[in-house]
Amino acid sequence: MTQRGNDSASGRRARGRTTLRQVAGRAGVSEITVSRVMRGSPLVAPALAGRVRRVAAELGYVPNRLAGTLAGHASTQIAVILPALSNIVFAEVLKGLETGLEARGYHPILGISNYDAEHEADLIRSLLGWQPAGLVIATAGLTPQSRAMLTDAALPIVEIMDSDIDPIDMSVGISHRGAGAAMARHLVARGYRDIAFIGHDLSRDHRARARFAGLRAGLGRAGRALAPARLRLCPSSVALGCDMTRQILARHRPQVICFANDDMAIGGVFACIGAGLAIPRDIAVTGFNRLDIGQAMPAPLTTIDTRRHEIGRLAARHLIARLEGDDPPSHSDVGFVVIPGATS
Amino acid sequence: MTQRGNDSASGRRARGRTTLRQVAGRAGVSEITVSRVMRGSPLVAPALAGRVRRVAAELGYVPNRLAGTLAGHASTQIAVILPALSNIVFAEVLKGLETGLEARGYHPILGISNYDAEHEADLIRSLLGWQPAGLVIATAGLTPQSRAMLTDAALPIVEIMDSDIDPIDMSVGISHRGAGAAMARHLVARGYRDIAFIGHDLSRDHRARARFAGLRAGLGRAGRALAPARLRLCPSSVALGCDMTRQILARHRPQVICFANDDMAIGGVFACIGAGLAIPRDIAVTGFNRLDIGQAMPAPLTTIDTRRHEIGRLAARHLIARLEGDDPPSHSDVGFVVIPGATS
DNA sequence: CTGTTAGCGCCTTCAC
DNA sequence: GTGAAGGCGCTAACAG
């Protein structure tokens, strides 16, 4: 007495949802025909297709993508792993990604690593379990284990944000070291000598660390020393930038303060204004990322545009290209842009 | 000559990935035993379980959640639909959500509606196809069709952000109308009379519209009229707030300018500073959301904290509670908080 | 053009 | 404790 079989129009539903079989039964055709109609196959007579579509709509049939993917081949889910979302930067990358994926019928499954490499490895494992068609990751520092899982998984992978890497498969980003160096050149060209650096916890954020290294090296090559960096072991924020700037200004006024990113720099600008300093007359300030707010300030922030929406867009595009059999470039540098602003 | 069957340790892999069968073959046990071990069933002898686990690890076996969900019952994917990500507000909600879900082994599948109700309906349809265990949505305005799909789907649903609704299943948010009214009371209490409003395209953002309505009604009840709103049909941004404020100031200086949100208000503050106005001495400014930047400004912004991380956290919690058979409240108002700031 | 058959990889139910 | 059979909902491959 198993209750399998053609319960057709009887109304029984697996897990409360209409199945292919029910639509087929009600329309008086076979399951495969319904399947073809739902996937827009041209192999079905238009009249029949119309009828099937009508029945499917009546029954509120929604194809089960789980079963479809298991039986067919390609999933349309894409695993996306980011280190954070508190910063608008990754939200914008994600926006670019989602737009690019959604437009082609793909859906992101999201994981946030919190800049924790171990957690990132767990995320990779669990998201791979969904058999995604591809994976996009802004790394928190791949563990050897993570790297092995990704290599073995044999699916298209785009490592985003940083182009100074040897990607497992593809990369889309900018050179963070190069961005630091570019900022150094900018400052050297303007003749600054007494240069300070304020940052957050760089031990977990390797891209910010690379920018810092690039900045220091760039200044060093030009014979300028960077004052010992002031770092605080917590996430970056406007308030932190403001607070640390006040501390520096309490004992000394450098010609320039470079901040790890725009959030911190905006806080720094507020602190300078609060201290009665005119920017850039009394002190110069630089950031990184080119947040809209920084550019809308009375004196637009000196910063570097990281073109993150473009990073998301391109990552989606290359991933899809690969999935469709094309051969996109394995390294894509979207190119950063130095924004002189009015604060240096 | 079909090549089905026990290819066991031979190394063939379905779709390039190790399967249960291979682990079973290599460990010399049946598939179901491996299945039990992987799911932590206590029905397997410890020694055997250990051996199976070792083999699974060696082979880099990652269970196929698609097959597992299809055969078993509950998916651990949660559909999440948001209207935007360009604004940090939704990124923070998403962060709260992801954290709450991930901690319990659930994963978000993301869709962005761009405040487009039709697109939202498409997203609902396609995400439901993945048979998610639940759905969290910050609505762009459910179409009747969307509403029908959600009702029929018979899965736990949390509508987030707004508590002034009659939820399909559960809601977590604040009263946007109430927030507007609260701001009105704040302004009335301070004796302001000449009050302007600057906003973005409210036709698509019904929550911003509700705040505006609440503000206007609140002022009306106190016998104060709101000057005709100035709206521009584009997304909100710092630059837009700045620009529109300049336009207003060019012809008239109201006592207060209320902005649709903090982004706009921050732009407004910049414009006021640029025009040489001291805040709040010459002009007052209010926003909405309590962005960190607004609070780090020399004069902290008058605004309303929408507790969005808490919204995400609670939404995840209630959804999971429902999935685990508990009975969470169907309405949760997390409560907004008026932040007086120093700009009014 | 339409249908039949045989699974996708796993889990439930029942035997052993 | 462990295993064998059958099926979740769908689709590829082949037959008609």
How many helices, marked H, and strands, marked E, lie in chain A? 13, 12
**What pLDDT is recorded for position A6?**
36
Distance from C-alpha of B228 to C-alpha of B213, rounded to nearest angstrom: 12
Residue B15 banded pLDDT, cuts 50, 70, 90: very low
- Residue of A123, A136, A145, A127 lying closest to B60 (CA atoms): A145
pLDDT tens across B175-230, in order? Answer: 999 999 999 999 999 999 999 999 999 998 999 999 999 999 999 999 999 999 99
* A164-175 per-position pLDDT tens digit: 999 999 999 999
**In the CATH hierarchy, which fold is given to the domain comprising A5-63?**
434 Repressor (Amino-terminal Domain) (1.10.260)
B118 in Cβ contact with B144 (< 8 Å): no
Q: Give the mean pLDDT of A204-231.
A: 94
Residue of higher predicted confidence among B190 and A14: B190
| Nearest residue to B69 via CA among A105, A153, A64, A12 | A64
Fold match flag (A5-63 vs A77-174+308-334): no
**Which residue stretches of A103-193 are H helix?**
117-128, 144-153, 176-189
Report the mean per-residue pLDDT for chain A.
Answer: 92
Q: Is the CB of B143 under 7 A from strand C?
A: no
Q: Residue count of chain A, please give it.
A: 344
Contact B266 A131 (CB under 8 A): no
What secondary structure letter does DSSP report for A330?
S
Give CA–CA dist B135/B150, Å, rounded: 9
**Residue A280: cis peptide before it, omega within 30 degrees of 0:** yes
pLDDT of residue A16: 65
- Domain segments of chain B as ranges: 5-63, 77-174+308-334, 176-305
Superfamily of A176-305 according to CATH: Response regulator (3.40.50.2300)
Task: Tell me the pLDDT band of B16, cut-offs 50, 70 and 90.
Answer: low
Which residues, by CB, come closer than 7 Å to strand D? A 2, 4, 13-15, 17, 19-21, 31-32, 35, 38-39, 63-64, 67-68, 70-73; B 29-30, 32-33, 36, 43-45, 48-49, 67, 70-71
Contacts of A65 in chain B (CB under 8 A): 129-131
Report the alpha-carbon distance of residue A86 to residue B88 in Å, rounded. Answer: 8
> Sorting pLDDT into bands at 50, 70 and 90, what band is A73?
confident
Residue pair B231/B199 in contact (Cβ under 8 Å)? The answer is yes
Q: Residues with Cβ < 8 Å from A181, sequence gap 6 or more?
A: A214, A215, A217, A218
- Average pLDDT for residues B247-275, to the nearest whole number? 96
> Contact B141/B164 with Cβ under 8 angstroms?
no
Residues of chain A contacting residue B237, judged by C-beta atoms under 8 Å apart: 292, 296
C-beta neighbour count of A342 within 10 angstroms: 14
Please state, in angstroms and rounded to a whole number, the distance separating the CA atoms of residues B140 and B118.
9
Write down the pLDDT at residue B2: 32
Q: Tokens 């029905």 map to which residue?
A: B43
Alpha helices per DSSP H over chain B: 20-27, 31-38, 46-59, 65-71, 88-102, 117-128, 144-153, 176-189, 206-221, 238-251, 262-274, 292-296, 308-323
Which residues of chain B neighbour A295 with C-beta distances below 8 Å?
Answer: 239
Question: What's the rounded Cα separation, in Å, for the pair B314 and B172?
Answer: 7
The per-residue DSSP string of A274-288 comes to: HTT--TTTT-EEE-S
Helical spans, DSSP H, in A255-331: 262-274, 292-296, 308-323
H or E element at residue A25: helix A20-27
pLDDT one-digit tens code per residue, B203-215: 989 999 999 999 9
Question: What is the structure's pLDDT at B12?
Answer: 28
- Supply the CATH classification number for the domain B77-174+308-334: 3.40.50.2300
Q: Residue B45 CA to C12 C1' — how many Å? A: 20
Q: How confident is the model at residue A17 (pLDDT cuts 50, 70, 90)?
A: confident
Cα separation, B122 vs B113, in Å, equals 9
- Rounded CA separation A40/A50 (Å): 11
pLDDT > 70? residue A15:
no
Nearest to A331 by CA among A135, A103, A174: A174
* Cβ neighbours for B343, distance < 8 A, ≥ 6 positions apart: B269, B279, B280, B284, B285, B286, B299, B300, B301, B302
